[in-house]
Structure 1
């Protein structure tokens, strides 16, 4: 068995190393490392705002923040601005950085590198405009709601398009001509072409590019009462998160009504008989998203258990606070989990195992279904316990699933650390 695991590990490590050597992937990973501090600060601001300062926050309610904190309204405004000014520009930052790092090896001139990033930003904005403002010849209105964490994939795609195209033009420049004239020509050509593509999209489509990707991800999961539907939704959510579409993917019809009916049944009747024990909330949200989608809290524990990689452990400490509040963006981008073929398997597998175990426990009536509403930022390990009014069986199930998920993550985190060290060693030698 040990030889089999070792063989599988070697194959996955080799795949990860080969994947990271690719020029396109290397540019994406360097971009993720570049913007990680911005994402971390923005997420911490969002975490404090939502969980400590808002009435729906877990710490606001449990620590009675309103009784001892001053200037809550001012703090909410400030942290809201800080999180919007960082997380709200994630797609723009990714487009700029990916394009910049793709062009960097092709030219020693910082001007060309920066111009490639600037053009990527312009291209991304051209795909995020208010359709009616363009077609009605009024002042163009830009859409900012699609440029946050959910737009990472679009930012990467635009950065790859512009970076590779600009790099090709640089490699085919005539060395006998003035560099300024060629730069003006390259920039002008790119702006005309990309703006034309943006205009075609706006003229023919009713949504932005990012909204179109999210629409494709919205599968018809109506009233997910079957195990297959819950697993499908978990697979969809995990895949989208791994591709960089962070945040909520789709809302399942009827969930808020079902949650209200469950709560009313518990409050108005003796016992704990709820009309909808199997829902997206009672199974997936409560048991399969500890630390955020992907059971990221288990990933964090696995990082601390793998002691030989100090870089991974430092990243774990940086992301500890937001992960405990179920904000997973810093860890997904800083490790990174996004686009990592090695970490894709546990990132998908751990939630699916938790969904299966939770569904079985609810069907067999081993634990009651969650009925009480949960505050924002409630620690993932406590969600089932608090949502069931303090049922110890629900807590035991949540802890068991966290342990199982950590065991699933552990070997993959260990292999990811070995692959990262190998890639870093190669880069130092070269």
Structure 2
């Protein structure tokens, strides 16, 4: 194990650190972080309109019997909230990705974001403002920001205003020519694609790339890979969840929206693997299903004073899926004893939850509770079913069993160290 850790520190850690700090990935990750409240709100709006409680729909339709445009009036609140969240998600991402990337270069982020929005509509964004246009929004945001940055650094393209002009006006004129050229480039590329009989870039890209990508990410092997990568990165002190967040978010929003639409239409929910699936059944207590580690320490590791001290402090944040105190306090990071259960527990948990879903025991996740929602409660909300809570509880128990022998091993080693220390002090 020492040789393995030394090898990974020498060859893997530097590369992974560069990837984790790569400005384009950080721009994408932070853009989705900004939109998370809206995505959660939109998911809850869909849940309220389609709450799977027997008699709920009939009761609400009876109380609020008036219809507007073919829909019961009480459903309009959820529908209107959806229009302001999921229905325009790609617009937010197009702006925020360009804004974050330009800001990282110390270029005017607001101008870059506005130019990205314009470029997105130039390529046909009006037909893909919801999650269907997410991939194109990401690409447009990154490319437009890069083009705008490079053109902004050309002195001949900068229109300088005299002193005394309001800063906002000066910035807008400074960005005028770079904006014109950037949006024109996207317009020219779109024209060429239209000439190739691609009527709408967004819808064509969605059918060609995004849908197959979502299908691939919905498979059991990919779910296992995601469950493996995050704790593996964390073991070496890298924030695994943040590093794979751009990948997860590109499949998360479309999958949630598709699941919610299927639920509303009374059809089978198509996508098993999405962010609430990972949060509610795999990241229980935090990456590595560490709620099970805390339980194992309280049951088996009571004689391990260092473990008990850290577990006592980590229990409260662990209930809200925050496990940094454990990761760096025990520590889990670069701890060869905990490496195996830290990797194995989430992979077993994702397997249990995946097959419980595909077998029909519990519904797929169609709602997105905040990631800090306590275990079991989050699973009930995500699946809108009591079965989800049962599977989450099973995963907690299984993870505690997986961690137990390794906690026992650590406790035995700590006990031997204490006895040796006591013997040394007695003979001193």
Q: TM-score range with shorter-chain normalisation? A: 0.5 to 0.7
Q: Deviation of residue 167 (structure 1)?
A: 0.9
Deviations 1:117-148 (A, max 9, x none): 1111111122226xxxxxxxxxxxx31xx322
Matched, 1:353 2:360: no
SS at match of 1:121: helix
SS at match of 1:190: helix
- Is the 8 Å Cα contact of residues 39 and 86 (structure 2) preserved in structure 1? yes
Alignment partner, residue 31 of structure 2: 31
- Is the 8 Å Cα contact of residues 120 and 159 (structure 1) preserved in structure 2? yes
Alignment partner, residue 124 of structure 1: 120
- Is the 8 Å Cα contact of residues 89 and 131 (structure 2) preserved in structure 1? yes
In the superposition, the TM-score normalised over structure 1's length comes to 0.52
Q: Deviation of residue 18 (structure 1)?
A: 2.8
Correspondence list, 1:163-174, <5 A: 163-174=145-156
- Is the 8 Å Cα contact of residues 88 and 147 (structure 1) preserved in structure 2? yes
Deviations 1:8-59 (A, max 9, x none): 699877655433322222322332333233333333323322xxxx3xx313
- Is the 8 Å Cα contact of residues 91 and 148 (structure 1) preserved in structure 2? yes
In the superposition, the TM-score normalised over structure 2's length comes to 0.53
Alignment partner, residue 66 of structure 1: 60
Alignment partner, residue 90 of structure 2: 91
CA distance 1:218–1:153, shift in 2 (3 Å): closer
Alignment partner, residue 42 of structure 1: 42
In the alignment, the residues of structure 2 paired with residue 121 and residue 221 of structure 1 have an alpha-carbon distance, to the nearest angstrom, of 24
Alignment partner, residue 230 of structure 2: none
Computing the radius of gyration from Cα coordinates, the structure with the larger value is 2
1:242 is matched with which residue: 230, 243, 248? 248
- Is the 8 Å Cα contact of residues 153 and 243 (structure 1) preserved in structure 2? no
- Is the 8 Å Cα contact of residues 27 and 97 (structure 2) preserved in structure 1? yes
Alignment partner, residue 138 of structure 2: 156
Deviations 1:133-187 (A, max 9, x none): xxxxxxxxx31xx322343333222111011111111122249852566532222
CA distance 1:376–1:104, shift in 2 (3 Å): closer
Alignment partner, residue 139 of structure 1: none
In the alignment, the residues of structure 2 paired with residue 27 and residue 3 of structure 1 have an alpha-carbon distance, to the nearest angstrom, of 35
CA distance 1:395–1:380, shift in 2 (3 Å): closer
Which has the larger displacement, 183-192 or 156-165?
A: 183-192
In the alignment, the residues of structure 2 paired with residue 6 and residue 102 of structure 1 have an alpha-carbon distance, to the nearest angstrom, of 34
- Is the 8 Å Cα contact of residues 235 and 352 (structure 1) preserved in structure 2? yes
Matched, 1:76 2:72: no
Alignment partner, residue 19 of structure 2: 19
Deviations 1:229-265 (A, max 9, x none): 96468679999962513333999xxx9xxx99xxxxx
Alignment partner, residue 226 of structure 1: none
Alignment partner, residue 277 of structure 1: none
Alignment partner, residue 202 of structure 2: 209
Alignment partner, residue 185 of structure 2: 193
SS at match of 2:147: helix
Structure 2: 5+ residue runs without aligned partners? 67-71, 162-169, 228-243, 295-310, 323-342, 368-376, 404-428
Deviations 1:332-378 (A, max 9, x none): xxxxxxxxxxxxx999956863478669xx9xxxxxx5499999769
In the alignment, the residues of structure 2 paired with residue 82 and residue 381 of structure 1 have an alpha-carbon distance, to the nearest angstrom, of 22
In the alignment, the residues of structure 1 paired with residue 153 and residue 137 of structure 2 have an alpha-carbon distance, to the nearest angstrom, of 24
CA distance 1:249–1:297, shift in 2 (3 Å): closer
Q: Deviation of residue 196 (structure 1)?
A: 1.6
In the alignment, the residues of structure 1 paired with residue 41 and residue 257 of structure 2 have an alpha-carbon distance, to the nearest angstrom, of 26
Q: Which has the higher contact order (CA 8 A, sep 6+)?
A: 1
CA distance 1:68–1:117, shift in 2 (3 Å): same
In the alignment, the residues of structure 2 paired with residue 396 and residue 156 of structure 1 have an alpha-carbon distance, to the nearest angstrom, of 37
Between the two proteins, the alignment pairs up a number of residues equal to 312
Which has the larger displacement, 3-12 or 173-182?
A: 3-12
In the alignment, the residues of structure 2 paired with residue 107 and residue 311 of structure 1 have an alpha-carbon distance, to the nearest angstrom, of 39
> RMSD value over aligned CA atoms?
5.7
In the alignment, the residues of structure 2 paired with residue 312 and residue 14 of structure 1 have an alpha-carbon distance, to the nearest angstrom, of 30
- Is the 8 Å Cα contact of residues 151 and 178 (structure 2) preserved in structure 1? yes
- Is the 8 Å Cα contact of residues 280 and 378 (structure 2) preserved in structure 1? no
Q: Deviation of residue 80 (structure 1)?
A: 0.8
CA distance 1:10–1:397, shift in 2 (3 Å): farther
